[in-house]
Chain A
Amino acid sequence: MNIYECIKSSFFNVFSNKMRTFLTMLGIIIGIASVIIIVAIGNGSQAAMEKEFESFGTGTLQVSLVSSRDIETRDLLTMDDYYMLKELDGIEYISPTYSGSNAYVKLLDPTETNRANVTGATGDYKYINNDNVLYGRYISDNDVEMRNNVCVIQDTTALKVFGYCNEDVIGEKIKIKSWKGTTKLTVVGITENTDTSSSNYSDEYPENIIMPITTCMKVFTGSTLGGISIVLTDASQSEVMQERIIAALEDFHGNEDKYYIMDTTDMVESINSILSYVTLFISFVAAISLLVGGIGVMNIMMVTVTERTREIGIRKAIGAKNRDIRLQFITEAIILTGMGGISGLVIGYIGSVFVGNIVGISPVMSVTAIAGAVGISMLIGIIFGVAPANKAALLDPIEALRFE
C-alpha cells in the first residue's frame, strides 16, 4: 500500500465521523492556539521593549544619584560633574540630562495642548539617543553655552503643532506650557519619531522635545542634573569604566556610595531574560494542555481500533500486512493532530491579534513558532498514535474477523 492511498483512506476515515474528529481535535486546537498566542504576545512584548530601549540607545551608561534619604547638597550632580567626566578617557559621547516636569505643548488648535516629555541635553545626545535629523540641525554645544531658546522636535510633533513637516518649520516657534508659564522656543531641527509601538509611556507623553540643558534648567528652574548619559568608546570596557566614573565622581564630591550607573544593555538583557522565563513557564503550561490533547487522541484512537477490529480483520484477510495497518492508523492520528494543529494555528493567530489589541502589544508571529506548532502537533500524532496503531497491527486476523 503506497503512502498516497494510505493518506487518502485515512482522510476518508477521519471525515466519516466529523463530530468525533472535531472533539478529538479540540484538545490539540486549544493547546496549539494557546502556545501560538503566548509565543506571539511574548515575542511582541520583547520587541516592544527592545524598541523602547533602542530609542534610549543600548550600550548607554546612565549615571544617577542613588535614591536614599541621606543625600546632602554636595552630593547632587551638576553641570560641573559633566565637565569633569567629559575629560575622562574612553568616553565617546556624554550628555547631562534634565527632564522638564509637567510640560505641555500647544497644538495647531490654540485651545489644545499635548503632554510633552521635555529633555534638556547637549549636542552629544543626538548620538546617545540615536536621533536622526530630518530637517535643520540638532542642538549644539553653543546653544548650551548661550542658553538659547531653541529646541528639536519630532516629525510627529511638527505635524500636530504646525500642520506640516518640512524645511519651513525650522525657525518657527513652539509654545511650551509649564507651571512656570509659557516659554517660546525656536525650532532648529526635526528628528524622526521611530517609536511606532503604542506603549503606555508614549501614549502618556506623545510629544518629545529636546532643548539645551542650560535652557531647560532655566525654564524649569532646576540646578541639579537628572543624570548623565554616556556612550563608551569600547562597550566591552563597561565594567571597568563604570568603576572609574564612580571613583571620579566620589573623588570630586568627597563622598561614597552616592552614585550608581545603569548599563542599558544589561537592563535589556535582564528584562528579556525575565520575559523569556515567563514565556517559558506559560509555554510549559500550554505544553501540558497539548499533552492532555495527545492523550485524548490516543484514547479515541484506541476506541477506533476496537470499533474497527472487524475491518482490520477483513483488510488483513485480503492481504494487508501488519505494517500497512500500523501505517494507516498512525496516519489517521497524524491527520487528526495535524489538522488540529493547523486549526489551532489559525485560531491562535486571530487570538493573538485580539489579545494584542487588549494589552496594547502588537503580536510577533515567527516562522519557527508556526512550523513548530504544526510539527509538534504532528509529532504528538506519531507519539500517541503508535500505541493504538500497534494494537491494530498486531490483531490476530481470525479473532478480528470473528469480532462483532
Chain B
Amino acid sequence: MALLRLDNICKKYNQGELAVMAIKNINLTIEKGEFVSIMGTSGSGKSTMMNILGCLDRPTEGHYFIEGEDVAQFNESRLADIRNKKIGFVFQSFNLLPKLSSVENVELPMVYAGVGRKQRRQRAVEALTKVGLEKRIYHKPNELSGGQRQRVAIARALVNDPSILMADEPTGNLDTKSTYEVMGIFQQLNDEGVTVVMVTHEPDVAQFTKRIVVFKDGNIISDKPVENRTLREGAVS
C-alpha cells in the first residue's frame, strides 16, 4: 500500500464568473521512505498541490488516500486530526510563534494531540536534540538565526512522529550555509526512514532529494529520479 496516492485530483477556484483549474487530473503515488521535490514556476499549481497533500485544502474532485484512507472529503475536524498526527509541516517563513520559546513551539502539536505535560517536554527536548538545538531550547525565535529557526520548525514537524514531512520552500529564506544545514537534516531524517515531500523552485535544492516532480499549468510534466544527487557532508551513499 502506497503511503500517499492521488487519484484524478482536481482543484478549481472560482474567481468571479471565471472558474480557474489550479491543478488538473493529478495522479501521483508516493511510497514510504521517498524524498520527493515538487518543482515548478509560480502559478504552476505546486502550492495548490502542497496544500492538498498537507490537508490544508480539499480537492474539488478526485480521491486522496493517506495510508489507504480517502481523506479527500473529510470534514474540518478530521482534517485537523490528520494534520496533527500524520503530517509535519515546515514552511518557508518558519511560522514559529514569536512569544513562545523553542521548546514551547515544538510542544504545540502535542498540546493539540492531548499529550501530557511531562511527556510533551521530554519529546520536545528529544526532537530539538535531533536537529542539534539542545542548547537553544529556551530561546525565543527572535534570538535564533534563520537556520536555527527552521531547525526548530523541523523539530516541531517531527515531534508527533508523522507519516510524512511536508516542506514548502523550506530554504527560501535561508543563506547557502543554512540551506545546506537544513537540507542535510532532511536527508538524514529521510535516511532514518522519514518520508519527505518538498516544494521548491531552486534546482540545486531539489538535487538533495531522490525524485523530482515538475508541475506546469496544473499538470505534472515530468516525474523522474534524481541523478547525481547532492549529499550532505559525512553521509554514506
Query: Cβ of A358 < 8 Å from any Cβ of B?
Result: no
Contact of B57 among A320, A322, A398 (CB under 8 A): A398
Report whether B114 and A314 are in contact in the complex, using a CB–CB cutoff of 8 Å. no
Interface footprint category on B: 20 to 34
Q: Which residue of A lies closest to B57 (CB)?
A: A398
| Nearest CB on B from A311, distance (A) | 6
Query: Cβ of B147 < 8 Å from any Cβ of A?
Result: no
Contact of A1 among B51, B57, B76, B114 (CB under 8 A): B114
| Nearest CB on B from A304, distance (A) | 13
Most buried by A among B80, B99, B160: B80
Chain A 66-90, CB-CB to B under 8 Å as 1, else 0, gives 0000000000000000000000000
The stretch that binds A, out of B37-45, B104-112, B177-185, B186-194, is B104-112
Which 10 pairs show the lowest CB-CB distances between chains A and B? A319-B84, A321-B80, A319-B112, A318-B109, A314-B95, A319-B83, A321-B77, A397-B56, A320-B112, A317-B89
Query: Cβ of B202 < 8 Å from any Cβ of A?
Result: no
Report whether A401 and B95 are in contact in the complex, using a CB–CB cutoff of 8 Å. yes
Q: With A12-B99, A310-B95, A314-B95 as given contacts, are A321 and B76 in contact (CB-CB < 8 Å)?
A: yes
**A319 surroundings in chain B (CB, below 8 A):** 80-81, 83-85, 109, 112-113, 160
In the bound complex, how far is the Cα of B112 from the Cα of A322, in angstroms?
11
Chain A 308-333, CB-CB to B under 8 Å as 1, else 0, gives 00110111111111111000000000
- Chain A residues packing against B (C-beta within 8 Å): 1-2, 5, 9, 12, 16, 310-311, 313-324, 397-398, 401
| Nearest CB on B from A314, distance (A) | 5
**A324 surroundings in chain B (CB, below 8 A):** 80, 112
Query: Cβ of B215 < 8 Å from any Cβ of A?
Result: no
Report whether B81 and A317 are in contact in the complex, using a CB–CB cutoff of 8 Å. no
Report whether B83 and A318 are in contact in the complex, using a CB–CB cutoff of 8 Å. yes
Report whether B112 and A2 are in contact in the complex, using a CB–CB cutoff of 8 Å. no
Q: With A397-B56, A398-B57, A401-B91 as given contacts, are A316 and B80 in contact (CB-CB < 8 Å)?
A: yes
Report whether A318 and B89 are in contact in the complex, using a CB–CB cutoff of 8 Å. yes
In the bound complex, how far is the Cα of B50 from the Cα of A401, in angstroms?
13
Report whether B76 and A317 are in contact in the complex, using a CB–CB cutoff of 8 Å. no
Q: With A1-B111, A314-B97 as given contacts, are A320 and B56 in contact (CB-CB < 8 Å)?
A: no
Query: Cβ of B156 < 8 Å from any Cβ of A?
Result: yes
Report whether B84 and A318 are in contact in the complex, using a CB–CB cutoff of 8 Å. yes
| Nearest CB on A from B113, distance (A) | 7
Q: Which residue of A lies closest to B114 (CB)?
A: A2
In the bound complex, how far is the Cα of B114 from the Cα of A401, in angstroms?
23
In the bound complex, how far is the Cα of B81 from the Cα of A176, in angstroms?
90
Q: Which residue of B lies closest to A404 (CB)?
A: B93
